[in-house]
Structures are given as C-alpha cells and as structure tokens.
Amino acid sequence: MRLSMRPEGLPEVPAQTAAVARAALPRGSLAMRVRDRLAEVFADEPFDGAFGVRGAPGLSPGVLSLVTVLQFAEGLTGRQAAAMAVRGSAGSTRSVPS
C-alpha cells in the first residue's frame, strides 16, 4: 500500500480544553510540557522524503514520534499505551457544556 503525507504539524489544542487542563493541572503534566516546549521538534516536514505524493494519507509522523517519546517517558508497553488511547478516545465523544 502506498502512503502519502500532507504535512500538518501538531493540531491546535482548543482554548477550552487548554483552560480546563491548566485549571486541573496548574503545574502541567509531562505531555503538556513536552508539547509546549518541543512542538517544533515533532514537525512533519523532515519526513517528506519518506512519503510519496500519491496514495492514502498516512498518519502524521510528527504526532507518531511525539506519542512514542511520551510512551517511553512514561515507561508504557505498546499494549498499555494502546489501552490508554482507547480509554482516552472513548471519553472524547462526550460534549463539553459551553
């Protein structure tokens, strides 16, 4: 299967999500600090040469590398990280009241 890439970088964190996270974790978390300080390290552009221009769009290599770094930093196995991702995505379907 051929994959293409459309460089997008890390998606913006919605303002309300950032405000809630900062209120819940005033000192931040490892994930918040890594994103805030190292976002440019996880850019997609350096990976341009590894992808074709045709084919199904692949996942963002920048996001995948950020996830890998956080998984290693937290000492999680692949299964543990996947289980956390599933739990996290299940909660994201709920709406947040305005």
> 43: Cβ–Cβ under 8 A, 6 or more apart, which residues?
7, 9, 62
HSE toward the beta carbon, residue 38, CA cutoff 13 A:
14
- pLDDT value of position 93: 40
Q: Judge if pTM exceeds 0.85.
A: no
Per-residue pLDDT tens listing for the chain (98 residues): 677 887 777 788 899 999 999 999 999 888 888 888 888 888 888 888 888 888 888 888 888 888 888 899 889 998 888 887 777 654 444 334 43
Check residue 97 and give its pLDDT.
Answer: 40
Whole-Å CA distances, 87 to 37, 49, 93: 26, 34, 11
Residue 90: what pLDDT? 46
